[in-house]
Amino acid sequence: MTDASALYQLKGLSKRYTRGKETVAIFDGLDMTISQGDFIAIMGPSGSGKTTLLNLLGGIDKPSSGEVVFEGQRIDNLSQGRLAKWRAKNAGFIFQFYNLMPTLSAAQNVELPLLLTSLSGKARKERVKTALDIVGMVDRAGHRPGQLSGGQQQRVAIARAIVADPKVLLADEPTGDLDRTTADEILQTLQLLNKELGKTIIMVTHDPEAASYAARELHLNKGRFEEKGKA
Amino acid sequence: MNDATLIRKNLFRKRLRAILLMVSILVAFLIFGVLGALQNAFTAGTGTAAQERLVTVNRINFTVALPYAYWGRIQQVEGVRNAAPASWFGGYYQEPQNFVQSFAVDPETYLEAYPNEIVLPPEERAAWLEGRTCAIVGRALATQYGWSTGDRIPLMSNIWQNTDGSQAWELDICGVFDDTEGTYPTNYLMLHYEYFNESLAFGRDSFHWITINTTDPALNDQVSQEIDALFANSSAETSTTTEAAFNEAFMEQFGNIGLILTWVIGAAFATILMIVGTTMVMAVNERTREIAVLKTLGFTAPRIFRMVLWESLLLSFLGGLIGLGLASLAAAAASGALAGFLPSFGLSLTNVVTALVLMAALGIVTGLLPAYNAMQVRISEALGKI
Ligand SMILES: Nc1ncnc2c1ncn2[C@@H]1O[C@H](COP(=O)(O)OP(=O)(O)OP(=O)(O)O)[C@@H](O)[C@H]1O
Ligand SMILES: [Mg+2]
């Protein structure tokens, strides 16, 4: 099963945790294909394994069995060091609570992933400016996270996620901590990144309205996906 | 921005904490520097020559005198090239607190014994050998009291009494001496033994020590045994050792400086090791989440390990270098005030190198555990809990 347009292929993916004597399977033999340029919203009850799935896709966690194939190459069997390099190159992460470094300015936060590249200081500055421009935060470049609102912090976090030009953005409840209006702005930004820049986005959310921005909605329940047709 | 920016920002994220840690390290290195300078002062002037000269003193104690006749008998011992007798004078100038390190010596033999330590212009040398009331003073001492050749000064003794009932000896300063290399102290004064001896109200015809040059340093052991054997079972037995060993024994009267130094510095360092070590562990624990984010972005575990280690090294070197700097300033200030007692009060290259090694060791030891912890942070666990 090879698909030229597939960015990800999950093959027989299982993730089990042992709690005491009990073994709990979060997924058991999950198969799934994610195409290049897709925008997927993953929904599902709390504890259904949404974050676990993102961690597997993002090379943060390893499956108990099965394969995670990215652009035709398995990433589930890479060493920690190689996974770190893979993440730096291919994946951008967006969190519910932004996770910006409190001691760094917005621009410095955005620059962080570029420290892992061989770009010159000048080239890095330009990239940072472009990324901040895309999320509309250039005028706050010098501000520290503590001086920014939640929505603004999330914009900076998105800039950080895209600055190294990764193929996929993994977002875990990116609007979970924001009010409706701000959430909509953030979601529009994500949609723009998907449509204009062709970024593949996989977004976990509890919010059906947020999910409606995605091209595809998947419901995770008891280790299985149910696809919902878009209204 | 680079990793160094991150390291610096992390260190100073809680400014007060960073400053307190730095001050505690600073204090330890200040103590290290000042005590090191003190030890240098106490052990100054024990060059290689001191290993080759012998010193004969009373076996009881170097403050107990030896009979004058010993000088002549020691000169007769096979292998003795030169024997220079000397007595403590215990001098002070005008006020008892104006301590003047001073000895009554036989000029000719004394100059012969210390060719590098005492360098005089030929005419001043001749003047001293000739003039009974002549004294020579070292450059440092002359500078301290503003004395120069031609001055006549009354030097008081806190040991001896003059036959005229006073405790003063009138001295003409006939010369100011230097040392050849600038490595020996020049903070003392010497007067004629004969002039001193003939005007003593008590304790005449004795001296406190004899400095001996042998014809060949290889003979030193043999010569010292022979001298001590010569006076064995007499009323004043002798003890003959190298001058270096004698100097060390002399310093021991102030306590075992080396041992005190080791204990004080050891205690100071054990304390900061614990304080800085635990604080660093706590500081890095507080950042678990940020470390997890860096890892998510693709920072590798070894890189994070290095960053934390550099942070504690930076802390250690900042505190250490400031402390060492203050110590050398303090030593410079004190060396002026203490010139009479302790010449060459300052930090040596060995002190500085040792301090740098200690700073590195402190940084590494306090950084290893938090760096290891940081490296071990698991992203999903650290980010899962909010
Ligand atoms: N390290 C772990 N050890 C044991 N169990 C774990 C571990 N991590 C996650 N789990 C369990 O796996 C299940 C799925 O967790 P996950 O965080 O993926 O859920 P989620 O769908 O993201 O939920 P939420 O919507 O609340 O964020 C949960 O039951 C959780 O308790
Ligand atoms: Mg979750």
Q: Where are the domains of chain A?
A: 36-62+78-228
pLDDT band with cut points at 50, 70 and 90 for residue A231: very low
Task: State residue B317 phi and psi, 5-degree precision.
Answer: -75, -35
- Most B CBs within 10 Å, among A26, A50, A93, to test the B interface: A93
Ligand 1 centroid from CA B385, angstroms: 10
Are B196 and B340 found together in one domain? no
- What mean pLDDT comes out for the span B361-369? 95
**Does residue B244 belong to any structural domain of this protein?**
no
Find out whether the beta carbon of A47 lies less than 6 Å from any atom of ligand 1. Answer: yes
| Burial of A183 from C-beta contacts in 10 A (0-12 / 13-18 / 19+) | buried
- Out of A35-44, B46-55, B97-106, B187-196, least confident range: B46-55
* Confidence grade of residue A225 (pLDDT, cut at 50, 70, 90): confident
Does any domain span residue B97? yes
Q: Do B310 and B175 share a structural domain?
A: no
- Percent of chain A topping pLDDT 70: 97
Say if residue B209 is in the same domain as residue B117: yes
| pLDDT for res B348 | 84
pLDDT at B175: 93
Is B92 within a domain?
yes
Ligand 1 centroid–CA B135 distance in Å is 92
Domain check: are B157 and B289 in the same one? no
Report pLDDT digits (tens) over A107-152.
999 999 999 999 999 999 999 999 999 999 999 999 999 999 999 9
- For residues A70-83, give the mean pLDDT: 94
Find the mean pLDDT for residues B340-352.
Answer: 73
Q: Under a CB-based contact definition with an 8 Å cutoff, are residues B84 and B110 in contact? A: yes
pLDDT(B149) > 70: yes
pLDDT in tens, B77-103: 999 999 999 999 999 999 988 889 999
Q: Does B295 touch chain A (CB under 8 A)?
A: yes
Interatomic CA distance for residues B56 and B67, integer angstroms:
12
**Half-sphere exposure of residue A92: CA atoms within 13 angstroms, side-chain side:** 28
B289–chain A Cβ distance below 8 A for any pair: yes
Instruction: Give the residues across from A23 on adjacent strands.
Output: A18
What is the number of the ligand 1 atom nearest to the C-alpha of A19?
4
What are the E-state strand segments in chain B?
54-58, 66-67, 80-88, 91-92, 99-105, 134-138, 152-157, 168-177, 188-192, 206-207, 209-214, 238-242
pLDDT, average across residues B305-309: 96
- The answer to whether residue B369 sits within a structural domain is yes
* d(CA B371, nearest CA chain A) in Å: 17
Question: In Å, how far are A119, A187, B265, B292, B377 from A60, measured between CA atoms?
Answer: 25, 24, 47, 10, 12
B27 and B122 co-located in one domain: no
Q: Do B318 and B176 sit in the same domain of this protein?
A: no
Whether residue B180 has pLDDT greater than 90:
no
pLDDT in tens, B4-62: 999 999 999 999 999 999 999 999 999 999 888 887 776 665 556 677 899 999 998 88
| pLDDT averaged over every residue in chain A | 92
Ligand 1 test: best mutation among A16, A23, A51, most atoms within 8 Å of CB?
A51
The predicted structure's pLDDT at residue A2: 53
- The residue range of the domain holding B276 is 3-44+256-383
| Residue to substitute from A57, A75, A86, A116, interface B, most B β-carbons within 10 A | A116
Rounded Cα distance between A185 and A2, Å, is 37
Mean pLDDT of B166-185: 86
Contacts of A98 in chain B (CB under 8 A): none
Q: How far apart are CA B281 and CA B370, in angstroms?
A: 5
Q: A99 and B297 in contact by Cβ < 8 A? A: no
Tell me whether residue B251 is in a domain. Answer: no
Which of B167 and B384 is assigned the larger pLDDT? B167
* Cα of A22 from ligand 1 centre, angstroms: 15
| pLDDT of res. A162 | 95
pLDDT of res. B338: 59
Using 50, 70 and 90 to split pLDDT, how confident is the model at B170?
very high
Domain count for chain B, please give it. 2
Q: Does domain A36-62+78-228 have CATH number 3.40.50.300?
A: yes
For residues B160 and B87, is the Cβ–Cβ distance under 8 A? no
Instruction: Give domain status of residue B220, yes or no.
Output: yes
Q: Does residue A18 have its Cβ closer than 6 Å to ligand 1?
A: no
Stated pTM of the model: 0.75
Distance from CA of A102 to the nearest CA of B (A): 9
- A224 confidence band (pLDDT: 50, 70, 90): confident
Least confident of A65-69, B64-68, B83-87, B115-119: B115-119
Name residues whose C-beta falls within 8 Å of residue A179's C-beta, 6 or more positions apart in sequence.
none
The DSSP line for B328-369 is HHHHHHHHHHTTTT-SS-S--HHHHHHHHHHHHHHHHHHHHH
pLDDT of residue B386: 41
The C-alpha torsion from B202 through B206 and B210 to B214, rounded to 10°, is 160
**What is the H or E stretch that residue B305 is in?**
helix B301-337
Whether the CB-CB separation of B276 and B26 falls below 8 Å is answered with no
With bands split at pLDDT 50, 70 and 90, how would you rate the model's confidence at B187? confident
The response to whether residue A15 sits with its C-beta less than 6 Å from ligand 1 reads: no
Q: Which residues contact B60 (CB under 8 A, 6 or more apart)?
A: B237
* Ligand 2: centre distance to CA A96 (Å): 9
Which residue in the set A51, A111, A116 is minimally distant from B298, CB to CB? A116
CA–CA gap between residue B181 and residue A188 (Å, rounded): 81
- What order of strands is seen across the sheet that includes strand A91-94? A91-94, A168-172, A200-204, A39-43, A216-221, A224-228
| pLDDT confidence of residue B319 | 96
In this structure, the answer to whether residues B178 and B275 fall within a common structural domain is no
What are the residues of chain A with a beta carbon less than 8 Å away from any beta carbon of chain B?
A: 51-52, 55, 58, 60-61, 80-81, 84-89, 93, 95-97, 99, 101-104, 108, 111-113, 115-116, 160
More confident residue, B116 or B232: B232
Q: What one-letter code names the amino acid at A204?
A: V
B126 and B31 housed in the same domain? no
With CB atoms and an 8 Å threshold, state whether A99 touches B300: no
Q: Tell me what ipTM this predicted complex has.
A: 0.94
Contact A60 B298 (CB under 8 A): no
The residue whose CA is least distant from atom 11 of ligand 1 is A47
Q: Please tell me the distance from the alpha carbon of residue B177 to that of residue B267, in angstroms, as a whole number.
A: 42
Q: What is the rounded average pLDDT of the residues A28-57?
A: 92
Examine the pLDDT at B279 and tell me if it is beyond 50. yes
Q: What are phi and psi of B384, to 5 degrees?
A: -65, -40
Section B335-351 average pLDDT: 68
Q: Tell whether B49 is covered by a domain.
A: no
CA of B27, closest CA in chain A: separation in Å? 28
Chain A, nearest residue to B13 by Cα: A103
pLDDT higher than threshold 50 for residue B212: yes
- Give the mean model confidence (pLDDT) for residues B363-384: 93
DSSP B67: E
Would the CB atoms of A101 and B290 count as touching at under 8 Å? yes
CA nearest neighbour of A42 among A197, A216, A174, A158: A216
pLDDT band at B383 (very low <50, low <70, confident <90, very high): confident
On chain A, the residues whose CB falls within 8 A of the CB of B293 are: 95, 99, 101
Q: Kindly tell me if the per-residue pLDDT of B290 is higher than 70.
A: yes
Domain membership of residue B28 (yes or no) is yes
Q: B299 and chain A: CB distance < 8 Å anywhere? A: yes
B177 and B290 in a single domain? The answer is no
What is chain B's mean pLDDT, rounded? 89
- Distance (Å, rounded) from C-alpha B240 to C-alpha B210? 9
Q: Are B276 and B25 in contact (CB under 8 A)?
A: yes
